[in-house]
Structure formats: structure tokens, C-alpha cells
Amino acid sequence: MDLALRAALLGWEFVYVGDVKVKSELPSSLGAYRSQQHRWSCGPALLFKKMLREIVAAERVPAWKKLYIVYNFFVTRRVVSTFFTFFFFSVLLPAKTLFPQVRIPTWQMVCVPTATTLLNSAGTPWRRSAHLVVPWVAFENAMALHRFKAILIGLFEAGRANEWIVTRKSGNGRPTPGAEGRRLKRRCRLHWLELLVGALLLASGCYDCVHGHGYFYLFALPQSIMYFAIGFELLGVHHTS
């Protein structure tokens, strides 16, 4: 991403060639996926902080292209969409449920973050997995917490900002000796931040269901289940064949 940005600031033009096929592999476990998403969120935030001055001062790039790089390449797709998804579903939703006096329209509470998540997936193949849209939206909303934390780490250059961990590939080979033991250790790992948010959503959903302030529990309870699944690492335990 750093090289692509520097090349764009030098006025280079890019051509996407669709008929060139390159082998790739999706992360085979939740831990590998979380590591990848941390890198993909923290890295651009750190790059944006380091390169903003060079973007503004670039002489070979017109002003509209600079605006596109800042607005679309960084702010909208990396920061705003992640913040909206996390803040609306994980902060405003329990706040609205636990404090009924807070007046927030339903379309803002639910439709805005859901539309943001779906629009981020526009252009990707979805016909064979359309039946997974609902759990996928819940999963993306829960992962937004992890991504937003990584963005803050990148912007403030804290903790793992400059750490580079390559996503582990499993390939088609047999598990290496000791892999089963490591997998059991990974199962026991807890992600306390996700568990805390999941407990908050569970409490707010139960409160809304009992006191009948609305139908927000229909969104809070499934979302809390997904947070618990990620917090206890119940996803991605078994490799696909």
C-alpha cells in the first residue's frame, strides 16, 4: 500500500489485469484472520499519518486526485466505515436500550451501519453465499471493534503499530507436529474486549425484551452471540477440507 501510494503521487497510472490468476489462501483460523485484519487496519492508519503531508505537497498529482486519495483511500473506507459499524451497533444500541430517554431514530440505529457494511462488500461474489448475509453482517459488526482498535493503534503509533506478522498459511499439507496442541491452546484464548461488549449487548437485549421499550433486542441478542463466539474463539476451529 505504501508503494502504491508513492507511485500514485509520482503520477503513475495503474491498469488492473483481470485474466492474470495468482494463487491465494484465506486465513484458516480466527486467530489468523484477526491478525490479518489488525495489519490491514493498523497499517493504513499509520501510513496515512506518515504520508498526509506528502500527499498534500505532491506536485504531480491534481487536487481532485489528492482529495480522492485522502477521502476514499483512507478516511471513508478505513476509518469512517469501521467507526460507524462499531459505534452504532456496539455503543449506541445498548445506550438506546438501557436509557429509553435517549431519542435516536431506528433507521439511524440499524439501517446506517447495516448499509455501510453491505456497501463495503459491493462488487464481491455473493450469489452462492446469500443465505449467510445475516450472520456475516453480525460478524463484520463484531470485527469492527478489533479493526477500530487497530486503527487507533496505528494513528497513535502505540503498542503493535510497527509490528508485522504475516498471516500463517496452512496450504494443503498435513498439520505439523504439535499443531493439534497449539490449536487447543488457541481455543482457550479469550478476547476480553469482545466478551465485555458481548455482555453489554446481552444485558441491554434482555432489558429491552423484559421491559418492552422496542424491538432492539432482535438486533442486540444475535450481535451479542457473535461477540461471544469471537471472544471465546468458537469460530474457525476446524479447517475446511
| Full-model pTM | 0.82
pLDDT, position 134: 83
Could you tell me how far CA 131 lies from the centroid of its own chain?
21
Q: Which residue has the higher pLDDT, 3 or 16?
A: 3
Those residues with Cβ within 8 angstroms of residue 88's Cβ, 6 or more apart along the chain or in another chain: 108, 109, 110, 112, 113
Q: Which strand (E) or helix (H) includes residue 122?
A: none
Those residues with Cβ within 8 angstroms of residue 28's Cβ, 6 or more apart along the chain or in another chain: 168, 169, 170, 236, 239, 240
Tens-place pLDDT, residues 118-129: 777 766 666 677
For residues 64-81, give the mean pLDDT.
86
Tens-place pLDDT, residues 172-228: 554 544 554 455 454 557 999 999 999 999 999 998 888 876 778 888 899 999 999
pLDDT, position 177: 46
